[in-house]
Amino acid sequence: MERRGIVERAKDYVAKERDADFRSEVEKLLASEDWKELEDRFYRNLEFGTGGLRGVIGGGYNRMNTLVVKSATQGLASYLIKAFPEKAAAGKLSAAIAFDSRHYSVEFAEAAALIFAANGVSVWLFSSLRPTPELSFAIRRLGCDTGIVVTASHNPPQYNGYKAYWNDGSQVVPPHDTGIIDEVNSVKIIREITRQEALDRGLLKIIDKEVDEPYQAMVKSRLFRPGLIKEKAGEVKIVYTPLHGTGAMHVEKVLGDLGLKVITVPEQREGDGNFPTVAFPNPEEEAALDMAIRLGIKEKADVVMATDPDADRFGIAVPSNLPKAGSLDSSPTALQADFSKYVLVTGNQMGVLLADYIFLSLKELGKLPENAAMINSVVTTGMQKALAESCGVACFECLTGFKWIADLMRKWENGEAGAKKFVFGTEESYGYLVETEVRDKDGVSAAALTAEMTLYWRSKGKTLLDRLDELYRTCGFWQELGISKYFQGPEGPAIMQGIMDKYRSKPPATLGGIEVAKVRDLKNGMDGLPPSDVLQFFLKDGTVVSARPSGTEPKIKFYASCCAGVGSGGLDAARAEAARKLDAIRKDIRAVIGE
């Protein structure tokens, strides 16, 4: 964009932004003629995508700030009024809003609430920080038409964001997503009222325990063996970190009510948008669990747990196994926990363990439906499908993002899409859903079920790693690879699109030296999946390699999932074979993305 256009947009922003700090940032940039920074802040509008907003906090149309939040909420309110005209006319539209510990989350949440109120939409606003899954639960419990959670999930501290939800408690999907985007992009006038006026007119209601307590009760109700927990809770010690986010309130309360001993990392317990002890507050990152693991070693914890700042993602680390006979293929019951070293369990592995525990528990209790089904994303390990089918459970795939899991759940409930009975949903990025009362990944319920699962296998003389090895022997050894490359700045989207275009115009004949047997391009939809910028390469040996630009961050992501049979060489040989394949695939991908 030409400099004149940048200056005009910057001055327009300054005239409209009521927050003095954000306005001052842009005024100073104009005064110092910092054209590079001004271009980055104004070369485009921060895109309201299919999941909402996410960006760096700051003044400007390409930043997260109060003006951008207000404009987005005005668009959402306008779409809501058009979608439900009768409720709008009767003054019965409502929304729920939650927020996490990030900088400006409180201010953004209240700004959104007052825009809704000014448009005649009643708002239920949480009194303090709450997790994303509770927001989803609140929408369903309170009968709201929409909802917002102000969070940037696991991103670094300079980010914040805004996830938009529909009346079923899931993030918006077609046709509502594009309809909302159109309204957001066409906003001309933003309706506003004061907080006091909203309270006086009954359009703003502050909530806390009226949703907290039912949510916690729901999480506990989804457990399978309360008797086992009551009997043996004292045998398991848990170290937990909320990574300076929202999870402590519910994880501590739920697990504490069950009689489990939870030791929360004190330095990371309270909400803090600076995330001072971690570079990335993401349980996918090994470094994020470092402090919790060190405490786990000190306390000899049976499991170390972590949730991300909005407590939708959940990760664990467990003590390593020390075989008495010196072999990974020794009898599982012969293995002892080594509390001097902890092993991170990947999102794919955790999904396998939870799926296995849910299936066997439902079978044991005689509650596994004949039409039971689980849902996972197209980039999740193939091991989950192999496991599900071995247990008589169907496994359905969907696009990346939990809204697509929720979309299929909704269709099944409405008797569509060959209706199945949902029993579990998961994706590789540490997301799990073990209940139907929430329609997004839920780190709190995953923590509770993982605690029970740990107790269950302990009662059988096994650790979680023991059980995982048993499943590898049944389903084959599966290993996954993930590569992400960031492309910041105005040229970033074009670079990522160029990579995808190159793969589309000239697909590789091999990856990692293995023949590509099939290419699946989801750009226009395929195999019953909606359109999405995703390419998948199915290799001759069963390995699947996927490529997709992120929908929320300026990066392109690659995934690979491969299987090695467990033969006479045992798990050691299978691990080595899988590692060799993935190393070769990694080299091919890095050559394309310039690493």
Q: What is the pLDDT of residues 214-252, one digit of tens each?
A: 999 999 999 999 999 999 999 899 999 999 999 999 999
- The CA–CA distances, whole Å, from 54 to 164, 243, 490 equal 11, 20, 16
Query: Measured between alpha carbons, how far is 402 from 21 in angstroms, rounded to an integer?
Result: 35
User: What pLDDT, on the 0 to 100 scale, is given for residue 335?
Assistant: 45
User: Catalytic: which of 71, 101, 105, 153?
Assistant: 153
Q: With a cut of 50, list the residues of the chain below it in pLDDT.
A: 322-335
> Where in the sequence of the chain do the CATH 3.40.120.10 domains occur?
44-207, 215-343
Q: Residue 210: its pLDDT value, please?
A: 97
Nearest to 416 by CA among 434, 396, 392, 441: 396
Residue spans in the chain of domains classed CATH 3.30.310.50: 477-593
pLDDT score for 329: 40
Cβ atoms 339, 316 nearer than 8 A:
no
Vertex 366, ends 350 and 315: CA angle to 5°?
A: 10
Burial 277-296 (b: 16+ CB within 10 A, else e): bbebbbbbbeebbebbbebb
Domain 44-207: assigned CATH number: 3.40.120.10
Q: What is the CATH number of domain 477-593?
A: 3.30.310.50
d(CA 43, CA 574): 50
What is the value of pTM for the model shown?
0.93
Tell me the fold of 215-343: Alpha-D-Glucose-1,6-Bisphosphate; Chain A, domain 3 (3.40.120)
**Distance in angstroms (rounded) separating the CA atoms of residues 302 and 314:** 16
170 tagged catalytic: no
pLDDT number for residue 330: 38
